Structure 1
């Protein structure tokens, strides 16, 4: 089991074009975590509209 704490924070998703998006999200912080960073659906992505275009490596997003 990995020890850590769950927080509610406002995250800013920067935009190459248009406005950045500020969204309240659940964030897990642990000094023991050795894996990569990741974005979860429950707690963040379910609160925004998003799509990924893998051909050009772009992440599109907006408010619900």
Structure 2
């Protein structure tokens, strides 16, 4: 019975059922990825703005990459 139901579905029926689910999934997934990317970028931006200490500046071989 289930196999007959699966084969009786047309392409439009499948699209009507699957496309909204895919849209919801990708919007949630992309918003999650965007939120996850913001934290490390802001962390590194704040880290690069920290003033360099005198001890680090006097260390031989220390180079400021900024």
Shorter-chain TM-score: which interval? under 0.3
Greater RCO, 1 or 2 (C-alpha within 8 Å, sep 6+): 1
The structure with the largest alpha-carbon Rg is 2
Q: Provide the TM-score with structure 2 as the length reference.
A: 0.21
Larger helix share, 1 or 2: 2
Larger strand share, 1 or 2: 1
Q: Provide the TM-score with structure 1 as the length reference.
A: 0.22
